[in-house]
Structure 1
Amino acid sequence: MPPSPVVASPKVLDLLQKLHAASLAQESTWSTRLFFLARKIRSAFSSRETWTSKQDDFTRDKFIALEQDKSEFLYLLARTTGATAIVEAGTSFGVSTIYLALAAGQNAASLSSTPVTPGQGAKVVATEKEPTKAARAREHWKEAGAEVEPWITLLEGDLNETLPVEVGKSDKIDLLLLDIWTPLALPALKIVQPKLRHGALIVADNTAGFRAAYKDFFEYVHDSKNGFKSMTTPFKGGLEVIVYLPTSENKL
């Protein structure tokens, strides 16, 4: 097995392996497979995906974590671009957030000529609507320790209400991860867009597997007046990598 591309202590790397294994174990059950198959079939016939309380109940104890290869790729993207101001829409159990926090903290350290106090010089803003998932995420970040936890600010509740307030405090956003219920992807992007720096990255998950559900999102991203350039990378289910390159005419 090749070495991990992620720079982290053995404790954190072991934790990530454990969390990904737990997520995969859940995803391999027939009930979870049928749940996502039904979602995919519904989304193929309608771009207006609905979410019910029954679906909330089913997913409440599910990781639904970003796959390990995607997470490692995300970490490398964040490191390569020097991202220190990151937003994650949809943290779930906080697995992908660990990768983002590692990258943000390490980028902050690279930019400083003196040792960086954990939590200073970078921030990962994560959102989660479900209280039980937010609690589990906090447990995982606490277990990861000072390499991860101090860099994260978790917003609990509806991101349409919580995210504008937090983003409004930011000078700029370097990277946005959209790993969330597809109808919320475009609203989250629009909330963050005014603070995206030129060259900022937006990464969205499952853009091939749930293409129809992303219809409004792609209409917006592919409209040249909005300043985005995108590519669907060939990870499982598709992973969209979008660069924000506005001109003076379309800069918000």
Structure 2
Amino acid sequence: MSAPAPNPVVAPDHVLALLDRLHKESLTQENALPSTYLASGGFDDLMRDKFIALDQDKCQFVYQLARATGARNIVEIGTSFGVSTIYLALAVGSNLDRLGGEGKVVATEKEHTKAEKARQYWQEAGNDLVTRHIDLREGDLLETLTKDIPQIDLILLDIWAPVALPALKLLEPKLRSGGVVILDNSISSATRYKELLEHLRSPKNGYTNLTLPYSKGLEMSVKL
């Protein structure tokens, strides 16, 4: 029997247990969705109140990437219930301990009920480990991301498709050379994200791109 895949996340046992629990809840709810939901014209309405987190293996990859690049300022576009935000905050906290300086995870969420639930999970993980590293901006992200944005090391995009490209364009002036943009569901939702993917893959916009072979696709774009 092969050994279980290693988990790169460095955190106390109660945080690891919390993440495992939340991913199981997310998977249960995702499996309960109708099989045609991705093709549904009402996709965004359907997903509005659903507890569907970024897949656990993807979260671990983004955490590992943030640690490897020393990312201290991360923007998460589409926080939802805040599961992936915990990984980002843990990575930022570890990087600050190692490298010094200042940094934050700037997280966005439009739905108040999701934002409140996310805050509860972050408190459960712990203020020193997670909450203090997060700047949650609740409301219309095209307004909340217009000020007080530091130079960005990493952007995680997991958001309603029509605002994804406008949000990225809003942040691009702050994205450092070598900064990374991660987009979830770049294969399964390629049609919905068509304009965003065209923007990232156009040579004139200065990114190198790689579609990672995770479930439903995970796009990794590096700003040159």
Partner of residue 143, structure 1: 124
Supply the AA of the counterpart residue of 1:98.
I
Partner of residue 153, structure 1: 135
Partner of residue 157, structure 2: 178
Partner of residue 38, structure 2: 37
Q: Which of the residues 134, 144, 148 maps onto 1:162? A: 144
Q: Does the CA contact (< 8 Å) of 2:77 and 2:108 recur in 1?
A: yes
Query: Percentage identity across aligned positions?
Result: 53
Q: What is the CA distance between 1:33 and its match in structure 2?
A: 3.1
Partner of residue 76, structure 1: 64
Aligned-partner Cα distance in 1 for 2:196–2:16: 34
CA RMSD of aligned residues (A): 1.6
Partner of residue 90, structure 2: 102
Q: Which of the residues 20, 23, 28 maps onto 1:25? A: 28
Q: Does the CA contact (< 8 Å) of 1:233 and 1:241 recur in 2?
A: yes
Cα offsets for 1:167-197 (capped at 9, x unmatched): 2xx2x10000001112222111111100011
Q: Which of the residues 12, 15, 21 maps onto 1:12? A: 15
Structure with higher Rg: it is: 1
Q: So what's the TM-score if we normalise by structure 1? A: 0.83
Aligned-partner Cα distance in 2 for 1:149–1:35: 36
Q: Does the CA contact (< 8 Å) of 2:59 and 2:84 recur in 1?
A: yes
Q: Which of the residues 180, 185, 203 maps onto 1:206? A: 185
- Structure 2 gap ranges (5+): none
Q: So what's the TM-score if we normalise by structure 2? A: 0.93
Q: Does the CA contact (< 8 Å) of 2:37 and 2:43 recur in 1?
A: no
Q: Give yes or no for the alignment of 1:189 onto 2:171.
A: no
Q: What is the CA distance between 1:242 and its match in structure 2?
A: 0.4
- Structure 1 gap ranges (5+): 43-49, 113-119, 246-252
Distance 1:213 1:187, change over 3 A: same
Aligned-partner Cα distance in 2 for 1:239–1:91: 17
Cα offsets for 1:15-65 (capped at 9, x unmatched): 000100110111111xx23462333xx5xxxxxxx777xx1xx43432210
Q: Which of the residues 160, 184, 197 maps onto 1:218? A: 197
Q: What is the CA distance between 1:131 and its match in structure 2?
A: 0.3
Partner of residue 123, structure 1: 104
Q: Does the CA contact (< 8 Å) of 2:66 and 2:154 recur in 1?
A: yes
Supply the AA of the counterpart residue of 1:81.
T
**How many pairs align?**
220
Q: What is the CA distance between 1:5 and its match in structure 2?
A: 1.1
Kindly indicate which of the two structures has a greater share of residues assigned to helix: 1
Aligned-partner Cα distance in 1 for 2:74–2:132: 14
Cα offsets for 1:74-97 (capped at 9, x unmatched): 000000000000000000000000
Q: Does the CA contact (< 8 Å) of 1:199 and 1:243 recur in 2?
A: yes
Distance 1:164 1:99, change over 3 A: same
Aligned structure 1 segments of 4 or more residues deviating by more than 3 angstroms: 58-61
Aligned-partner Cα distance in 2 for 1:140–1:178: 20
